[in-house]
A and B are shown apart, each in its own frame.
Chain A
Amino acid sequence: MKNLWYIARRELAAYFTSPIAYVIIAVYLAVIGGLFGFILYYSREATLRYVFLHGVSLLFLVLVTQALTMRLLADEQRQGTLELLLTSPVRDWEVVLGKYLASLMVFATMVLLTGYLGLLLLRIGKPDIGPMLAGYLGYLLLGAALLAIGVFSSSLTQNQIIAAIVGMGITLLLWLSGALVDLVGGAVGQVFAYLPIFDHYIDLVRGVIDTKDIVYYLSVTAVFLFFSVRVVESRRWK
């Protein structure tokens, strides 16, 4: 368990000693800030809901999470440092979870920094705090799942670009999978109704905290992290 923290700490340091984290956070804050101003100007409503639901912020979330994670395992494989980790007395899941945890911490920091938008709304209007917090919860959960998808795609290749593209592909396919409900039909079709990655988020942003939605994101996260561990382990069976 200690190893998990050592791995996460090293990874955090790597984010912040290179410009990666600063650039991602700065660009993210600029885009979300711009979107917020634009929406506020037209809607004149003290709510973050439109910011959370706007296509730009969803698409940008997909890009940002993949940008944060594409390096994690791909670069270790390319640089040969995975050999260092896997020949040290560290369990494979500690490596994967440690790295995931680091990306989650950077992401959470990023999202927390957008908190100033909420505070701004509190000063200029009377926003509904409940839905705002539910929205943040949904946003964090969605991000956590997307990061896990990113870690998984990063485990598959040594190439960061490929990792990012695969991660985005998985996310977008999950998004589209809702279309299969009618196409397939029946009980199997109903499974697809549960899959679309943004649907559960929309409920949360509306202020409806349903266990089902929370469980959805936690399971997507767990499944992809589990797959990542298996991929890392698989080099030990080959």
Chain B
Amino acid sequence: MIQVEQLTKYYGANLALDRVSFQVAEGEILGFLGPNGAGKTTTMRILTGFLPPSDGKVTVAGYDVFQDSLEARRRIGYLPETVPLYREMTVHDYLDFCAAIRGVNQRERAIGRVLEACSLGDVEHTLIAKLSKGYRQRVGLAQALIHDPPVLILDEPTIGLDPRQILSVRQLIKSLGSKHTIILSTHILPEVSQVCQRVLIINRGRIVAEDTPERLTAGLQGGLRVRLQCAQPSADAVNLLRAIPGVTQAVQTEPHTFEVTLDAGTDRRSDLAALAVHRGWGLLELRALTLSLEDIFMQLTTEEGEAQPEAVEAQR
């Protein structure tokens, strides 16, 4: 549904996007993750035809967003980072205007549909200037949905919402996923694992990882990491642990605690347990450590030389 090939964007001499390529299948929800200034908004602006690419090709629903811009735009619903609202209009009039310029035929019906989907019924005739941030965000979302586009591009859709609203918007996005192809960018990592089927992590204009949230958290850490705690480990415990085949690394983190990293694709936890029992160390705990998406994110987007977060440090 969306194809991005070798997308490159320069702002003057600044390279904002460096040969970014990815695809989104119909009905898929893709999460776009990255620190500020990584190129998320730039990518979305190019996808929606607001900015031209310096190089590369983007097609949405079969239309080149640059050559066949109008046709592509007809099929995209877009919620920009700063929600584009006319403050002096009522919610109803604003949505009516958005419906009109997107060529919606039965505008009142479309308005009713998005008001309900975004729970905006009670503010239909309120001036947008008087709405709270959460409502404004939802009006922005309603605007993106008004012409029932096959493709939705949402730049930080849950920003500024309170926790309950965040849940309902996520629910809404998830439910839209069956009929629409969605790209959403976010800072909030749990959001990605809850809503998206696939994650794309972008840093400094480059894609640094692309996978399902589950595989990212499992796969990226290399081998399995295990925390081993014993009541009275022997002095040479670290060396003994290292001697087990399949163990790449063993570190004593506390007097009675070890962190052991296993080869990717192996699971020698039973060997560890056997060793501890056999040597009479008094096994207290044997636990697999999984990296959270936060850790993965930090690991992928933290530059060398910067302070490394603990989880990454420990893994080395």
- Residue numbers of A with Cβ under 8 A of B are 2-3, 6-7, 10, 13-14, 17-18, 79-91, 235-238
B50: which of A3, A83, A90 is its contact (CB, 8 Å)?
A83
Instruction: Give the contacts of B96-140 with A (CB-CB under 8 A).
Output: 97-98, 100-103
B86: which of A2, A14, A90 is its contact (CB, 8 Å)?
A14
Total interface residues in chain B, CB < 8 Å: 29
Identity of the chain B residue whose Cβ is nearest the Cβ of A85 in the assembled complex: B101
Can you report 6 residue pairs joining A to B where beta carbons are below 8 Å apart?
Answer: A18-B88, A79-B82, A79-B86, A86-B50, A88-B102, A236-B51
B76: which of A7, A86, A87, A91 is its contact (CB, 8 Å)?
A87
- Interface pair A89/B78, CB less than 8 Å apart: no
Q: CA of A221 to CA of B85 in the docked complex: distance in angstroms?
A: 30
The number of inter-chain residue pairs (CB within 8 angstroms) is 73
- A-facing mask of B16-35, CB < 8 A → 1, else 0? 00000000000000000000
Q: CA of A3 to CA of B52 in the docked complex: distance in angstroms?
A: 23
Residues of chain B within 8 A (CB-CB) of A88 are 73, 98, 101-102
- Interface pair A6/B100, CB less than 8 Å apart: yes
- Interface pair A84/B102, CB less than 8 Å apart: no
- Interface pair B101/A236, CB less than 8 Å apart: no
- A-facing mask of B68-105, CB < 8 A → 1, else 0? 00110110101010111111110001000110111100
Residues of chain B within 8 A (CB-CB) of A2 are 100
Q: CA of A28 to CA of B84 in the docked complex: distance in angstroms?
A: 32
Instruction: Give the contacts of B43-58 with A (CB-CB under 8 A).
Output: 45, 48-52
Besides A13-B89, A84-B143, 19 other A-B contacts (C-beta < 8 A): A2-B100, A3-B100, A6-B101, A10-B89, A14-B86, A17-B88, A17-B89, A18-B88, A79-B84, A80-B80, A82-B84, A83-B78, A83-B80, A83-B84, A84-B84, A87-B49, A89-B71, A235-B51, A236-B52
Q: CA of A44 to CA of B31 in the docked complex: distance in angstroms?
A: 76
B88: which of A3, A14, A86 is its contact (CB, 8 Å)?
A14
Identity of the chain B residue whose Cβ is nearest the Cβ of A17 in the assembled complex: B88
Q: CA of A97 to CA of B96 in the docked complex: distance in angstroms?
A: 20
Identity of the chain B residue whose Cβ is nearest the Cβ of A20 in the assembled complex: B88
Residues of chain A within 8 A (CB-CB) of B86 are 10, 14, 79, 81
- Interface pair A10/B97, CB less than 8 Å apart: yes
Identity of the chain B residue whose Cβ is nearest the Cβ of A6 in the assembled complex: B100
- Interface pair B52/A89, CB less than 8 Å apart: no
- Residue numbers of B with Cβ under 8 A of A are 45, 48-52, 70-71, 73-74, 76, 78, 80, 82-89, 93, 97-98, 100-103, 143
B70: which of A7, A80, A91 is its contact (CB, 8 Å)?
A91
Residue among A6, A10, A80, A87 with the highest chain B CB neighbour number at 10 A:
A87
Q: CA of A89 to CA of B149 in the docked complex: distance in angstroms?
A: 12
- Interface pair B89/A7, CB less than 8 Å apart: no
Identity of the chain A residue whose Cβ is nearest the Cβ of B93 in the assembled complex: A13
Residues of chain A within 8 A (CB-CB) of B51 are 235-236, 238
For the complex formed, measure the closest distance between the CB of A12 and the CB atoms of chain B, giving whole angstroms. Answer: 12
B97: which of A6, A83, A86 is its contact (CB, 8 Å)?
A6
Residues of chain B within 8 A (CB-CB) of A83 are 45, 50, 78, 80, 82, 84
Residues of chain B within 8 A (CB-CB) of A3 are 100-101
- Interface pair B49/A86, CB less than 8 Å apart: yes
Q: CA of A88 to CA of B101 in the docked complex: distance in angstroms?
A: 7
Residues of chain A within 8 A (CB-CB) of B71 are 89
Residues of chain B within 8 A (CB-CB) of A84 are 80, 84, 98, 143
Q: CA of A148 to CA of B73 in the docked complex: distance in angstroms?
A: 28
Residues of chain B within 8 A (CB-CB) of A80 are 80, 82-84
Q: CA of A80 to CA of B84 in the docked complex: distance in angstroms?
A: 5
Residues of chain B within 8 A (CB-CB) of A18 are 88
- Interface pair B101/A90, CB less than 8 Å apart: yes
- Which 4 interchain pairs have the tightest Cβ spacing? A84-B84, A80-B82, A6-B100, A81-B84
Q: CA of A90 to CA of B87 in the docked complex: distance in angstroms?
A: 21
Residues of chain A within 8 A (CB-CB) of B100 are 2-3, 6
Identity of the chain B residue whose Cβ is nearest the Cβ of A5 in the assembled complex: B100
For the complex formed, measure the closest distance between the CB of B54 and the CB atoms of chain A, giving whole angstroms. Answer: 9
For the complex formed, measure the closest distance between the CB of B107 and the CB atoms of chain A, giving whole angstroms. Answer: 11
- Interface pair B85/A81, CB less than 8 Å apart: yes
Identity of the chain A residue whose Cβ is nearest the Cβ of B100 in the assembled complex: A6
Residues of chain A within 8 A (CB-CB) of B87 are 79
Identity of the chain A residue whose Cβ is nearest the Cβ of B82 in the assembled complex: A80
Residues of chain B within 8 A (CB-CB) of A82 are 84
For the complex formed, measure the closest distance between the CB of B306 and the CB atoms of chain A, giving whole angstroms. Answer: 32
Q: CA of A134 to CA of B48 in the docked complex: distance in angstroms?
A: 48
For the complex formed, measure the closest distance between the CB of A6 and the CB atoms of chain B, giving whole angstroms. Answer: 4
